[in-house]
Amino acid sequence: MTKLDMTDKMKSVLAHLQKVASTAPSLDALEKGIVESIAEQLPGYDWVGFYMLHPDDRETLVLGRFVGEPTAHVRIPVTEGICGAAVASGETVIVDDVNADPRYLSCSISTKSEIVVPIYVQGKVAGEIDIDSHNPAAFAEADRQFLEVAARFVGAYIEQHPGEA
Ligand code: SME
């Protein structure tokens, strides 16, 4: 196995999340199920949270469900942060050393690396999953693949429950 491959743990978490997505009574419940499973099951995923674009102000990300230390960044303009960069590019952003990245908005002094994965709804970015790790360079291709599938579950849920977003 290489760092390119999803681990068996990631695959089993995705199987669980698929079930959560098929039974979640609300988007909030789905977010909660995802952040709790991921933070509990994946080593090095020390802060796990959702930021969704404000429905009336698509220039602002709003913090949703999260597991980890409380953050001062409850609203992030899309022009700021690693979080804003993921919206602007529409692509997953991986930062191996947050302290070397001028875009980084600090949430905890313990954070060393970060991955932000956009959530697409009908072809447009609607929000993102943000993970911080206390380990440097904690995220690789396998994490990207894993989190992009999780993000697709959320995008598909919103597409199927349009009143939720
Ligand atoms: N580090 C993020 C801000 C959110 S906190 O990590 C929870 C950023 O640079 O956008």
Which residue's alpha carbon is nearest to atom 1 within ligand 1? 105
Helix (H) / strand (E) element for 121: namely strand 113-121
pLDDT tens sequence across 100-144: 999 999 989 999 999 999 999 999 999 999 999 999 999 999 999
State how far the Cα of 16 lies from the Cα of 1, in Å rounded to an integer. 22
Per-residue pLDDT band at 165 (split at 50, 70, 90): low
* pLDDT at residue number 2: 56
Query: Measured from the CA of 51, which atom of ligand 1 is nearest?
Result: 4
5 contact partners, CB below 8 Å, separation of at least 6: 142
pLDDT tens sequence across 73-82: 999 999 999 9
* pLDDT at residue number 163: 79
Distance 1 CA to ligand 1 centre (A): 31
91 contact partners, CB below 8 Å, separation of at least 6: 118
State how far the Cα of 12 lies from the Cα of 103, in Å rounded to an integer. 34
**Given its phi and psi angles, is residue 97 left (phi above 0), alpha (psi -120 to 50 degrees) or beta?**
beta
State how far the Cα of 38 lies from the Cα of 99, in Å rounded to an integer. 24
* pLDDT at residue number 162: 84
Distance 16 CA to ligand 1 centre (A): 27
Exposed (0-12), middle (13-18) or buried (19+): which is 91, by Cβ within 10 Å?
A: middle
Residue 4 has pLDDT above 90, yes or no: no
Residue 55 has pLDDT above 60, yes or no: yes
Query: Measured from the CA of 49, which atom of ligand 1 is nearest?
Result: 7
Mutate to test the pocket of ligand 1, among 35, 104, 131, 134 (most ligand atoms within 8 A of CB): 104
* pLDDT at residue number 3: 64
Distance 41 CA to ligand 1 centre (A): 21
